[in-house]
A and B are shown apart, each in its own frame.
Chain A
């Protein structure tokens, strides 16, 4: 039983980790609590649904289109909303409010077009695989594999490519990054595009698994925030650790208590980390002067 729950936790945690890595990248490079990340997630799930169910495209083409859509939407939000604010030198709170507004705007637009009810892409029971005493569905297995694959690529990209290093530079010291000639506008667009792509991947996996509804983005975005804080804000791969841990903890809560208390535990963890270890598990504690 324990190992089955561990496996379930790791697979659902994989999705959290994907969305959290995307948010972590955006938050680190731009410093914006990008609430609209949640709606990029929802929107890409609806693009997938529309292409696959309404337009009868192949699953592969639908996913490709939804991931492209997610990246473009992320970049669009940066160009239309955040970049003009930045040019004006707007206050940090205005970014958060604008981001919330974008979330509300697009969520209601989606609800207006597609309706509020839950929609399912695949019905019926999928194939399952047995590994020892653990039973996993095909999509669960896919969640784990895709996460691992993207996580490795993500880390290689950040450490091994010029663009990745530029993004990390922007994250660690925005002023110095400008001095060193990093094209900030371009770097930010890349962060938004890549981050949104990760959210889109998570959304595609979840839609294939349990279906879609217009509220799906907010819950998972809040989980992503918790994952980023738990893993360590300044340590980009930390978000993955945070996401996997949340997945496991949620499944343990379901086992020991009830699914009803999942959110309660999740947000208590958030408060706990904010208070007692704001640098996260992997983060190095800093002196005040360093921050």
Chain B
């Protein structure tokens, strides 16, 4: 039973990442390869606040959302002056910079040693230390993120986003400030990634920089590309599908050291297949451009 709870919690954590990245890739047409950076920034800010300053989780969470949003401005303002390949390369650059800081700014982040002993969240004396309670917590957060995203994309603003995605010039001609719109979406998506980072950090209670690499960014992209982007169900389908694959391998009694590589290879083959046969993913609406 605990095993099932664990999988469901991880699915919730990744759902938030997938939803938020979908705002960028699926709704605004921005292929960002630095989502894991904001996931990591969120995790680190709240882990540091709680372990070093003893701040309560429910204060650390908004602080880390805010922190990730501010840092995302720093990334967004220069990146959105770039187009196409150069935008993607800039996001790769920022991903590497954040990883390098997490890994090497040892005084602050303890570098490769990571941060151990991150406390479980607690509210009015109730500690979310058991798996079922943490599952409920993660479900609530994933739900809130889902509704924020739903509200956003179904509003008139969501249609503006799609307009930016389909034809930037036309949207601009209609008087939409593309630059501001993109920055707004990027900041929201980064804040949501930070929520996911907090949930992750306080769930596993130990974080180190290797959870927030370029490879992780690529994995988050994989979730939404295979599931499909540009609507609400695509990322959800992709996340559930891809997170269940490793569990299937476990049931097939494939040894752990082989399974890790095998899982990655399955993801890669799925990606190649989808890119060729069905670029819009399992349930997506938007075809990559």
Contact = CB atoms under 8 A, between A and B. Distances in A.
Interface of A: 33, 81, 84-85, 88, 90-94, 96-98, 100-102, 104-105, 107-109, 111-112, 218, 222, 225, 229, 260-261, 263-264, 266-268, 270-271, 274-275, 278
B89 A112 contact: no
A104 B90 contact: no
Interface in B29-73: 31
Contacts of B84: 92
Interface string B58-99: 000000000000000000001001101110111011101101
A261 B92 contact: no
Nearest to B75: A271
B214 interface: yes
B272 A102 contact: yes
A97 B261 CA distance: 19
Interface in B212-247: 214-215, 218, 221, 225
Contacts of B221: 97, 100
A67 B218 CA distance: 29
B100 A98 contact: no
Contacts of A102: 268, 272
A163 B81 CA distance: 37
A109 B267 CA distance: 13
B131 interface: no
B96 A267 contact: yes
B78 to A, nearest CB: 5
A178 B250 CA distance: 51
Provide the main secondary structure of the chain A interface.
Answer: helix
A260 B104 contact: yes
Nearest to B273: A101
B268 A108 contact: yes
A16 to B, nearest CB: 15
Contact of B276 (A85, A111, A271, A278): A85
13 contacts: A81-B272, A84-B276, A85-B276, A90-B275, A101-B271, A105-B272, A111-B261, A263-B96, A264-B97, A266-B96, A271-B93, A274-B82, A275-B82
A218 B218 contact: no
B90 A274 contact: yes
Contact of A108 (B90, B96, B261, B288): B261
B101 interface: yes
A222 B78 contact: no
Contact of A105 (B96, B218, B258, B265): B265
B88 A96 contact: yes
A218 B88 CA distance: 16
Interface in B130-168: none
A215 to B, nearest CB: 10
B205 interface: no
B100 A264 contact: yes
Contacts of A108: 261-262, 264-265, 268
A75 B264 CA distance: 23
B89 A274 contact: yes
B88 A270 contact: no
B271 A98 contact: yes
A85 B274 CA distance: 11
Interface centre among A84, A92, A271 (most CB of B within 10 A): A271
> Which are the 9 A-B pairs with shortest beta-carbon distances?
A105-B268, A101-B271, A93-B288, A260-B104, A108-B261, A104-B268, A101-B268, A267-B93, A108-B264
Interface centre among B214, B267, B272 (most CB of A within 10 A): B272
Contacts of B265: 104-105, 108-109, 112
Contacts of A270: 89-90, 93
B97 A267 contact: yes
Contact of A268 (B82, B97, B99, B225): B97
Contacts of A267: 93-94, 96-97, 100
A275 B272 contact: no
